[in-house]
Each structure stands twice: as structure tokens, then as C-alpha cells.
């Protein structure tokens, strides 16, 4: 499993993530996106209206890796935040889903390679980065 | 002015942005950050605890450009969102502030080059990208 149960549970409560991709000229962009963690495949799938026409989709199709952060503010007084950042290899799918034969998909798919979470695990203090296979 | 009055006003209501930077190996990262728009200098300044030790700071010091998105959900039913994405050149400052002689600063400073907003201007429909000087 790329993600822990606590991380998966947290992700399911959040309506948006923010996705970073890199243009071929090296400049980053970042956008709010809808996302879904697929526990069976161990990937993050990002959809959206007219996704294949978007710059983020073209960035990934051109070879960009991707990072998505899902985070929120639990309390302002005292200041308490939590979140998960997932970095990985990315695919721009606009046709058959290679991992789900017979299904079509227009998505950006992230294969997690590094995961960093904070405030998500019970008793978690500070940031916990780890590499995943 | 790099930003419009409506954009500046919106930014002042939001406690966090999400900052994307690129590591020297080309992989993006994205993090929630505190930020401030400086209307006099026309820049976005990003602070934070132990900023100079962070990977995002090192990315910028190594030449990464940056993008920050500030966005929120106005309503879920009906679905209504708004936000501003600001892409630009970035500086990692860890000493004297070159734009404010006599002041020291530990910040990532973004000089806006492209601004994209949605749901922020009165009557704004869809996304409005523009280049800024």
C-alpha cells in the first residue's frame, strides 16, 4: 500500500487537491483539482471538465512528473493544519485505461513515489516523509 | 499593477496558498504556505518557519521558477469556486532584502509574470489568463 489507512481516510474527506506539473520550459503550474485515490491500483486519478485540453494534461503528456497536495486547516486558534503531499510519476490517459482493460479514461494518473503527511496519523507530530515503491 | 483590486482583496481573505516549485531533477513539489501580496513592490512574499532549510527554498535558490494558487470553495450546492494562480520568476532571500534596503528577509519572492483568476472579479465567468510585465 502506498498510503496508510489514516491517509486514505483523510483524502476521502477532502473535495479538492492542488496539482503541480511542469511545462516543457521548466516552469511549474498549480491548480485545484478533483481527485480520487484508487486503493486497488494504488494510484491517484485526477479528472475534470475538458481535462485533455488543459495545460496540466499537456504538461504530463510531454513528460512532466506531478505532485498533489491535499490539506486543510483544522483550527486557527490554536493554529492546526493537516495534509498529505504525494509526488510521483504521472500519466496522461485519453483513451483506454491500461490498468483497467475495457474501460476508457480521461485522467491524469499519479503513481506515488514519495509521500509526506502531517497532522493526519493519530498522534503524528511534524512531517513524515517516506519513499514508496 | 500586476494584480487587480478584486484579486488583491480576495488574496487578503485567504490564510493559505499552495506553492509549486521544481527540483533540479525536474520533479515538482507543492506545499501549503503563508503568503503576502506587497502592493508597493508588486510581488508575492512567502514566509514560514525554518523556510531557508526547506526544499522549496533550495529549489528556488537553485533556479526554479514558482507558481502559487490561492483558491477556495464558495458553495458546494451549487458548485462554485474561485481563485487566483500567479506564476513567475522567484527569488530565495536569506539576508538583506534588495528591494527594501536595510531590511532583512527570509522569504521566497515571486515576481508575477502570468496571472489566472476565476470567480474573483464581479461577474467573471470562466478563467481569465493574462501576462503581466
- Give the CATH number, domain containing residue A79: 2.30.110.10
Partner-chain contact A16 B73, CB within 8 Å: yes
Lowest mean pLDDT among A54-68, A97-111, B57-71, B72-86: A97-111
CA B52 – CA B61 distance, rounded (Å): 9
Residue B43 phi/psi, 5° resolution?
Answer: -125, 160
- Residues with Cβ within 8 Å of B57's Cβ and at least 6 positions away in sequence, in order, are B51, B92, B94, B108
Residue B58: pLDDT above 90?
yes
Domains of chain A: total: 1
Is any Cβ of chain B less than 8 angstroms from the Cβ of A36?
no
Look up the pTM and report it: 0.94
Partner-chain contact B28 A18, CB within 8 Å: no
Question: pLDDT, tens digit, for every residue of B91-126?
Answer: 999 988 888 888 888 999 999 999 999 999 988 888
pLDDT value of residue B122: 87
- Residues with Cβ within 8 Å of B33's Cβ and at least 6 positions away in sequence, in order, are B16, B17, B18, B19, B46, B47, B48, B56, B68
Which residues of chain A register pLDDT less than 70?
A: none
CA dihedral defined by B49, B50, B55, B58, rounded to 10 degrees?
120
Q: How far is CA A83 from CA A55, A119, B89, in A?
A: 25, 7, 27
pLDDT value of residue B13: 96
- Residues with Cβ within 8 Å of A78's Cβ and at least 6 positions away in sequence, in order, are none
Cα end-to-end span (Å), chain A: 9
Is any Cβ of chain B less than 8 angstroms from the Cβ of A21?
yes
Partner-chain contact B22 A19, CB within 8 Å: no
Is any Cβ of chain B less than 8 angstroms from the Cβ of A14?
no
Partner-chain contact A32 B83, CB within 8 Å: yes
* Residue B93, all three cell numbers: 532571500
Gyration radius of chain B's alpha carbons:
15
Partner-chain contact B87 A19, CB within 8 Å: no
Q: How far is CA B30 from CA A31, A86, B92, in A?
A: 10, 9, 16
Question: pLDDT, tens digit, for every residue of A29-42?
Answer: 999 999 999 999 99
Task: State the residue range of the domain holding B69.
Answer: 5-131
CA A91 – CA A125 distance, rounded (Å): 33
CA B3 – CA A70 distance, rounded (Å): 26
Is any Cβ of chain B less than 8 angstroms from the Cβ of A126?
no
Is any Cβ of chain B less than 8 angstroms from the Cβ of A64?
yes
CA A19 – CA A12 distance, rounded (Å): 16
Whether ipTM > 0.85 holds is yes
CA A53 – CA A90 distance, rounded (Å): 17
Nearest to B21 among A28, A32, A73 (CB): A28
Q: How far is CA A109 from CA A30, A46, A66, A112, B53, in A?
A: 16, 6, 9, 9, 31
Q: Which of the four pLDDT bands, split at 50, 70 and 90, describes residue B81? A: very high
Amino acid at each position: 500500500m502506498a498510503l496508510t489507512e489514516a491517509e486514505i481516510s483523510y483524502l476521502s474527506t477532502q473535495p479538492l487537491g492542488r496539482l503541480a506539473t511542469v511545462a516543457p520550459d521548466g516552469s511549474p503550474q498549480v491548480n485545484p483539482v478533483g481527485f480520487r485515490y484508487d486503493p486497488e491500483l494504488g494510484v491517484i486519478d485526477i479528472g475534470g471538465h475538458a481535462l485533455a485540453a488543459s495545460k496540466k494534461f499537456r504538461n504530463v503528456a510531454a513528460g512532466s512528473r506531478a505532485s498533489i497536495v491535499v490539506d486543510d486547516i483544522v483550527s486557527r486558534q490554536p493554529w492546526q493544519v493537516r495534509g498529505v503531499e504525494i509526488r510521483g510519476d504521472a500519466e496522461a490517459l485519453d483513451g483506454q485505461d491500461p490498468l483497467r482493460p475495457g474501460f476508457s479514461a480521461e485522467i491524469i494518473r499519479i503513481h506515488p513515489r514519495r509521500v509526506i503527511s502531517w497532522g493526519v496519523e493519530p498522534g503524528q507530530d511534524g512531517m513524515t516523509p517516506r519513499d514508496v515503491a
